[in-house]
Chain A
């Protein structure tokens, strides 16, 4: 390597060093450390820990609740991805019509996404509260209910509540991405399809969707990854209950570490969670490479 290319390489290293340092300190080191902790009986209260091999993993896979945890996580990810996706898609198509006030509506819709997740969790906890929530009050007033429903106390209603809150939070994000994709749809192709006699639905399916398919695939994958990692709303609204009906990997790792103080078990659960995440990350990386 001659001097010029060595200097060139050195300059490259200097430029990426800050980002590399942050990556190592904030991501790589904690990740590797977590894997190491998962092989110990490390406890939050006691400083010392002993190597226990695969004991934590054995306990996780022999726990009757692990399968339920995986299923509940998949349920949450599925509904919390598709729900806001379809609402965001409809909203984006509407906003793309550029009617009077569409810019304002688009801005207002983004407010949901800007509000911190914890604040949204408290907001929807109040709405769904069984004793003084506005939802019960509204439904009783409309004659649709004759008694208060404890929304956050039922297995299916609690999942419905957290998915609703998450949908409300995230549909602006999907909307923003889809709107960006819609700008790339060829106006001439749309006009041509109209001339050929296509109705709105046919134009949407045969012209718009193929044009925005890369964006749709990308946001579905990213949305699923985001929901797999999501913690705030569920922790605030239900804490993973009742009866673990809303327990996902995120809440379970938190509970194991900070409520049951079992860092080793929590780390092992985190490793299993990371493996699940890596499946989606693989799809994402493959998608990027194809592009």
Chain B
């Protein structure tokens, strides 16, 4: 009886494995199209996303109506990669530019030159914007919003702390942080619940902490990888960057376990003087209690090590992509054209501060006269993709974060943390 039981279970497993494969089958075509994204589920942008989709659906036949699928930003890369291996129909997706290498290499994305034509990109977008949607010579993404990240400054807090000088160098930045920490009235009273954090640097999640730290690495002239692809995190310049970053913790300018969400919440409450964020942060940090955003928020370029150095910035942007298995590429093209059309792009810009990507719309009065987009202009000049963008680099981000946390907690010196980063990344 026992042998029979085992035999039945093995047979059942063998049978179930036939159905459990499922990869590389044709997508099941269904009515309508899907638009997968994360912004549609975020409070700051859910309304505008619903409007974008509804306005398209109103003028579309039933077979082309768009249904929204949401997941958190952090899950987008893995969700698209896994689901593209199944049979569900996925058509259009919003992706972060950092996700492009992984998804392109996985064969998830369609070559858009075949869908839109090569002229479409050169005619409508700047070279820089087009390039962020290109991977190894193939155009996979339509630029939706492209702008490097900036150091978002709370000018109101700086003023209240007596900071009345431009922040150009690292030394200026440190001086401003010290003045915020010691001079701001909220840091002098006994109520700890409204203390101002000088710099809400990312120290919690590897997906944000590592790319944000890379900007400071580049500022010090260091990099994660050398020309041979080996980790260069134990170079003298990298150790200098780590030592400097560690000094921010020792001087009380930064905190442990700070996530982007925490930083935005605290900034909105008027409790953060500096933090790193992207153009789309406007919706997340707007606080009507402080009046117009121009009264308190200013996106500035990162400070440089020495005057005359080129400011560094982390590339940021959103792309619209078409899933290669989509049986509705023509309809997906129409939906993407709708999303980047003047009417929709200007409304998205007005509601969320997301810069349009098309050249013709960038010169629109509504954009050129807007405080937030104008303030971002100096930042637009810079920006490079994080060195650890790509599926094989996710582990590297985790190593960078862990060793950084060890350093910030005092378990390791900056040199020890740098050596550990190098030795661990090289064996990944």
Contacts and interface: CB of A to CB of B under 8 A. Distances in A.
A213 interface: no
A154 B13 contact: no
A43 interface: yes
Nearest to B193: A137
Interface in A25-60: 25, 28-29, 32-33, 43-47
A54 to B, nearest CB: 17
A131 B78 CA distance: 32
A244 B401 CA distance: 10
B16 interface: yes
B17 A260 contact: no
Given A45-B81, A131-B197, A153 B255 contact: yes
Given A20-B12, A28-B13, A47-B23, A242 B409 contact: yes
Contacts of A140: 192
B409 A154 contact: yes
Contacts, number: 106
Contacts of B77: 45
Nearest to B393: A260
Interface string A126-169: 00001110001100100000011010111100000000000000
Nearest to B252: A147
Given A24-B12, A153-B257, A155-B409, A241 B102 contact: no
Contact of B16 (A29, A239, A241, A259): A29
B24 interface: yes
A260 B12 contact: no
Determine which residue in A20, A46, A243 has the highest number of CB atoms from chain B within 10 A of its CB, and name it.
A243
Interface string B257-290: 1000010001000010000000000000000000
A71 B143 CA distance: 47
A258 interface: yes
Contacts of A241: 204, 257, 401-402, 405
B205 interface: yes
Interface secondary structure of B, over-half rule: helix
B85 interface: yes
A255 interface: yes
Nearest to B412: A243
A150 B85 contact: no
Nearest to A31: B13
Given A28-B9, A29-B13, A241-B257, A148 B409 contact: no
A262 interface: yes
B81 A44 contact: yes
Contacts of B271: 131
B270 to A, nearest CB: 13
Interface string A59-85: 000000000000000000000000000
Interface residues on B, range: 35 or more
A155 B391 CA distance: 29
Contacts of A183: none
Contacts of A21: 12
Contacts of B103: 45
A261 interface: yes
Nearest to B200: A131
A239 B205 contact: yes
Contacts of A242: 204, 256-257, 405, 409
Interface string B102-122: 110110000000000000000
B118 to A, nearest CB: 28
Contact of B20 (A29, A130, A132): A29
A260 B13 contact: no
B195 interface: yes
Interface string B6-18: 0011001100110
A142 B203 CA distance: 30
Interface in B391-426: 391, 394-395, 398, 401-402, 405-406, 409, 411
11 contacts: A20-B9, A28-B13, A44-B82, A44-B391, A47-B106, A130-B255, A132-B193, A140-B192, A150-B255, A241-B204, A241-B401
- Closest 7 A-B residue pairs measured CB to CB? A153-B256, A153-B257, A24-B12, A45-B106, A260-B395, A45-B81, A243-B405
